[in-house]
Amino acid sequence: MSLLLLLGDRSYSSWSMRIGLLVERFALPVPCRFGRLYTEDFRSLLAEFAPARTVPALRLPTGAVIAESLAIAEELAARFPAAGLWPADPDIRAVARSLAAEMHAGFAALREACPMNLRAAYRGVPVNEHVAADLARIELLWDWARAATGRPGPWLCGDYSVADAFFAPVAMRIAGYGLPVSAGARAYVDAHLADPAFRRWRAAGLAEGPDQDFYRCDFDRVPWPEPQTVNPS
Ligand SMILES: N[C@@H](CCC(=O)N[C@@H](CS)C(=O)NCC(=O)O)C(=O)O
């Protein structure tokens, strides 16, 4: 038995996207199965990955299944050390680990108010004080990453790493809901919008069937944003 990843809809499952982007960007030889969140089929599929209760879930060659995106990212990094999922420099890696861990544990207000939806973009979205506080913390962390690592960007800790994959869905919320951020943060969002691995992921998600209703919002719709400061490669 080899590794097998269970993921949810590419357009809607932000935790799946973090791991899916790692597989895509680092060309990891890990097969993926995709389920449509909150359907009967998804529940049956998830039952095959017990004791996981959420996606992403990773089945190991032993048959044991591990859950939690941060644990899965660590596992992939350990099993494919040559891929470089974390920065090689220990001091820079420590910063990347801290960023990924805080993202995994936090930003509940932003996640609740602006669920990831790669099929819709809006304007005029109100920003409550809790979301504003999350955005301020995110900007601070992104600036701090550059200062602490001495790396200019576009990625947080030099080359693209787990830290960037973990913030990719945050970047997509800022882009898709048109949330107000600093010019530096906007440039980082643009780097994600232009990232070829992300663009492949989003295109595959658009082909996954009809829209799902659970994240539908009544805000004014606008076309999906193109990067403003970076050319897609
Ligand atoms: N803390 C978990 C969160 C995973 C999660 O909430 N996944 C959602 C999809 S993005 C899910 O599986 N929802 C299905 C459900 O709750 O029934 C992780 O880091 O993997």
Q: pLDDT tens digits for 73-98?
A: 999 999 999 999 999 999 999 999 99
- Split at pLDDT 50, 70, 90, the class of 228 is confident
- Split at pLDDT 50, 70, 90, the class of 225 is very high
Name the burial class of residue 12, with classes exposed (0-12), middle (13-18) and buried (19+) by CB atoms within 10 angstroms of its CB. Answer: buried
- Split at pLDDT 50, 70, 90, the class of 231 is low
Ligand 1 interacting residues, C-beta cut-off 6 A: 8, 13-16, 37, 54-56, 68-69, 104
Atom of ligand 1 nearest to the CA of 55: 12
What amino acid occupies position 84? G
Rounded Cα distance, 205 and 200, in Å: 9
Q: Tell whether the model's pLDDT for residue 15 goes beyond 90.
A: yes
Mean pLDDT for all residues in the chain: 96
pLDDT value for 3: 97
How many Cβ atoms sit within 10 Å of the Cβ of residue 37?
Answer: 20
Reference 151, options 88, 93, 92, 99; nearest CA is 92
Residue pLDDT, tens place only, 128-140 = 999 999 999 999 9
Q: What is the 3-state secondary structure (H, E, C) of 179-208?
A: CCCCHHHHHHHHHHHHCHHHHHHHHHHHCC
Q: Tell whether the model's pLDDT for residue 227 goes beyond 80.
A: yes
Residue of 6, 10, 13, 15 to mutate, ligand 1, most atoms within 8 A of C-beta: 15
Average of per-residue pLDDT across 168-172: 98
pLDDT value for 233: 53
Q: Tell whether the model's pLDDT for residue 219 goes beyond 70.
A: yes
Contact in structure between 11 and 29 (CB atoms under 8 Å): no
Residue of 46, 55, 116 to mutate, ligand 1, most atoms within 8 A of C-beta: 55
Residue pLDDT, tens place only, 20-36 = 999 999 999 999 999 99
- Split at pLDDT 50, 70, 90, the class of 1 is confident
- 3-state class (DSSP) for residue 40: helix
Residue pLDDT, tens place only, 138-167 = 999 999 999 999 998 899 999 999 999 999
Contact in structure between 39 and 45 (CB atoms under 8 Å): no
- Split at pLDDT 50, 70, 90, the class of 232 is low
pLDDT value for 160: 98
Rounded Cα distance, 225 and 51, in Å: 38
Domains of the chain: 4-83 (3.40.30.10), 90-222 (1.20.1050.10)
Rg (CA), the chain: 17
